[in-house]
Amino acid sequence: MSNQTIRRWDNGAIIYTGEHATLCEAVEHCARSGVSLRRADLRVADLDGADLRGADLREASLDGASLRGADMYGADLREADLREADLFEADLDGADLRQADLSEAILDGASLRGADMYEAMGLAD
């Protein structure tokens, strides 16, 4: 176990700090506990297979993050930066992706049933 700290991308303020084996476990803990990860700096984070159901990730910076097979059912990703994120086979059913930036994101095999993608950027026509 080591100390894992999650900070805001815009001002560096600490959102959460706690003892977890990995950053992924810390992020999952926040999602389960209802800790808002709004504006979290999760750039290039390894979140493969993470359970992020219903997580508050509004305006989070997830560019270049690996979220392969992550369960993000019903997650709030409004205005999130998901540029170049790897969402291969991720479950985004019912997720709120309004105004999210998905430019160059890998969405192969991702499930987006019922996802709100109004004004999401970077999607192929």
Two structure tokens written together for 13:
């303020």
pLDDT at 85: 98
Check if the beta carbon of residue 55 is closer than 8 Å to that of residue 35. no
Q: Which long-range contacts (CB under 8 A, 24 or more apart) does 71-77 make?
A: 75/31
CA atoms within 13 A on the CB side of 55: 26
Identify any residues that bridge with 62 across adjacent strands, giving them in sequence order: none
Mean pLDDT (10-residue bins), the chain, 125 residues: 96 98 98 97 98 98 98 98 98 97 96 92 70
- Residue corresponding to tokens 């989070």: 60
Q: What is the pTM of this model?
A: 0.94
d(CA 37, CA 25): 14
Range 89-105 burial, b when 16+ CB lie within 10 A, else e: bbbbbbbbbbbbbbeeb
pLDDT at 124: 58
pLDDT at 59: 98
Check if the beta carbon of residue 30 is closer than 8 Å to that of residue 14. no
Check if the beta carbon of residue 60 is closer than 8 Å to that of residue 42. yes
